[in-house]
Amino acid sequence: MKTEKLILELESLCEKYGYTIRKERGTFRGDQCVIEGDKLIVVNKNRPLESQAAILAKVLKNSGTDDTYIKPAVRKKLEELWDRIDRFETAGDSAESDML
């Protein structure tokens, strides 16, 4: 599945969970937040498409998608992204504990 198509699928899933997605330019990575009760995902348009997909996948991982139907090809890509996110966070935790 092409990254552009994956991003569209992930955006659709995020919107089903009540998120509004904003694509902006800047020097930030992107993430989710709540502003005045509205759930918002901010994605940096300048980042590579793979990074944009990772931001959306991270939000979905924390949303609990177990009860939601997700197309098999999309779920497979999501699980791959979640594995990468877990490995990255684990590596960051061990590097952080080494610094202490």
CA-based nearest residue to 60, from 80, 38, 36, 90 = 80
pLDDT in the model for residue 11: 97
Rg (CA), the chain: 14
pLDDT (mean) for 5-29: 96
Q: Which domain holds residue 12?
A: 3-95
pLDDT (mean) for 18-27: 96
Average pLDDT over all residues of the chain: 89
- Say if residue 17's pLDDT is above 50: yes
- Say if residue 100's pLDDT is above 50: no
- The domain spanning residue 24 has which CATH number? 3.30.2010
The packing angle between helices 72-99 and 49-61, to 10°, is: 90
Domain assignment of residue 100, yes or no: no
Which tens digit of pLDDT belongs to each residue from 34-81?
999 999 999 999 999 999 999 999 999 988 877 889 999 999 999 999
CA-based nearest residue to 5, from 47, 56, 65 = 56
Domain assignment of residue 45, yes or no: yes
Number of folded domains that form the chain: 1
CA-based nearest residue to 62, from 35, 89, 37, 44 = 89
Answer positive or negative: Cα dihedral of 33, 28, 92, 84: positive
